[in-house]
Chain A
Amino acid sequence: MRYILLDQVTTLKKGELLKGIKVFPLTHEAFRDSVNYRPVVPPALLIEAMAQAGGVLLSASFGEEPSGLVFAKIEDVEFFTTVWPGDRLFIDAQVLEPSENATKLKSTIVCDGKPVAHMSYFLAKRTLDPDESNIDYEAFLRSHKTRAAVLGISKLTGGTIDNQSQ
């Protein structure tokens, strides 16, 4: 199971707001041999998707060296409806309280114009030491570049990009 839970970034305002898209095809592992009667996306994955939207927003807002970002605390999550195979989710992440160490954010998910979930949470910076013995720092940096390219944000130079497909 891959653990990147954003497929596209459509809007990015550094330090403020990110809008992105995540789809859940039937190929996702969660749908296979599920012990739930309804093939719904496990809510913990929606939590992660919302957190990753915030994480991409923050790491795109940092300088050259990407810091690790740690999911420090979830204040509150509310789920309004379930997500099914084939659903296309529109995920927003917004910075609520910027700070040096831990930032408070809010993310929302909307599908077919209806609210799916929202979450308020804290992401903390984890300064990665290139010399730390059990970390492959090169691999980490490389993956950052790849992910930024695939999500469509590596062309960001100024403050905002808008890749809205419509």
Chain B
Amino acid sequence: MRYCFIDRVKELALHKSIAVSKAVSYGEPFLEDHFPGAPVLPGAMMVEGAIEAAMWLLRVSKDFLLEDFDVVKVKQAKFSKVVAPGDVLVTTVEVDSKNSNDELTWFRCKGKCDDRKAFSVRFALKSVIMEVLPENKDYFDIVSKRQKVLWSVLTASMKAS
């Protein structure tokens, strides 16, 4: 299974906000255990999708700078509605604030399913700049390429429309 909890980017405003969707389907491996006989998208994976979306927003806004993002804090995640196979969760992530040297960014986020609220959460990401040593350059090149490839796939439908 590809560890990726968003399917496509629907909207993007650099440095400001991103909207993504995730479709939930019966065959997805993590549903087998959550729960056996009653498959539902785990709340933690709704948060995972929001975190991934926020990371993409920062990555693309900074033109794929060689950096990682640490999740430092997560606050007030409320899970209101069950998201089940056949549903599509649309999540909007907005930048709330940044600290003075741009290192820490707070996001607020809301997820909806058929226009009904499924969850909301706030979290903070910290930027971790990567130091590339000559002996690791190949590895970093591969990961950079992977990022660009996945970003192309996530935005393919956005470009086509």
Contact = CB atoms under 8 A, between A and B. Distances in A.
Q: Which of B43, B44, B72, B84 has the most CB of A within 10 A?
A: B44
Interface in A106-148: 128, 134-140, 142-143
B45 interface: yes
A134 B38 CA distance: 7
Interface residues of B, number: 43
Interface residues of A, number: 43
B48 interface: yes
Contacts of B70: 43, 79, 82
Given A1-B30, A73-B76, A33 B2 contact: yes
Contact of B79 (A35, A70, A138): A70
Contact of B47 (A35, A36, A44, A78): A44
Given A3-B32, A37-B143, A135-B37, A75 B76 contact: yes
A78 B73 contact: yes
A76 B33 contact: no
Contacts, number: 125
A134 B44 CA distance: 22
A140 B35 CA distance: 7
Interface in A38-92: 38, 40, 42-45, 47-48, 51, 68, 70-79, 82
A46 B121 CA distance: 16
Q: Which of B37, B45, B66 has the most CB of A within 10 A?
A: B37
A136 B74 contact: no
A30 B37 contact: no
A34 interface: yes
Interface string B64-82: 0011111111111111000
A32 interface: yes
Contact of A73 (B44, B79, B140): B79
Given A51-B44, A143-B36, A44 B76 contact: no
Nearest to A36: B68
A4 B33 CA distance: 7
A38 B68 CA distance: 7
A155 interface: no
A131 B48 CA distance: 32
Interface string B41-67: 011110110010000000000000011
Interface of B: 1-3, 29-38, 42-45, 47-48, 51, 66-79, 84, 121, 128, 130, 140, 143, 146-147, 150
Given A71-B79, A79-B70, A139-B36, 6 more contacts: A3-B32, A37-B66, A47-B74, A76-B73, A82-B70, A134-B38
8 contacts: A1-B1, A33-B146, A35-B150, A40-B68, A71-B79, A76-B74, A77-B73, A140-B35
